Amino acid sequence: MKKILLLSFIGILISCKKENQENFDKPTSEVATLKPEELGKEIFQGKGVCYTCHKEEVKTVGPAIKDIAKIYKEKGGSIAEFLKEKSEPIVDPSQYTTMKTNFAITKNLPEEELKALEAYMLSFSK
């Protein structure tokens, strides 16, 4: 019985031990030094998985980034608001149902990352 109590006590101590967890994302200081367009590109090609349907110059499953940027700039729309599902599609409404599956990802991105993603995409309208 004493052995069980001793082992339980040691197990509790070990599980309560404070230790730094590894951060598998970029260090905060490195993210803070990135320009919005650079951070947006990382999100586009990484956790946003936008690259699977959108290419820079060519329409694939979704419209090309340059076409999205051109239309959003012309119409004064907000890509970030669309990605939060708070505005209507203005580029290719017929593709909206395909895009809806990705809102589970984009709606959970922090505002800073959504704005960075928007900055990256709008950089193609220059």
Q: pLDDT tens per residue, the chain (126 residues)?
A: 766 766 665 666 566 555 555 454 555 445 568 899 999 999 999 999 999 999 999 999 999 999 999 999 999 999 999 999 999 999 999 999 999 999 999 999 999 999 999 999 999 997
Q: Taking each helix axis from N to C terminus, what angle separates 36-45 and 111-122, rounded to the nearest 10 degrees?
A: 100
Fold of the domain spanning 39-126: Cytochrome Bc1 Complex; Chain D, domain 2 (1.10.760)
Question: Phi then psi for 54, rounded to 5 degrees?
Answer: -120, 130
Domain ranges of the chain: 39-126
Query: In terms of Cα–Cα distance, which of 39, 48, 31 is closest to 84?
Result: 48
Task: Please list, in sequence order, all residues whose beta carbon lies within 8 angstroms of the beta carbon of residue 26, skipping any fewer than 6 positions away.
Answer: 42
State the number of CA atoms in the 13 A half-sphere of 41 facing the CB.
7
Predicted structure pTM score: 0.72
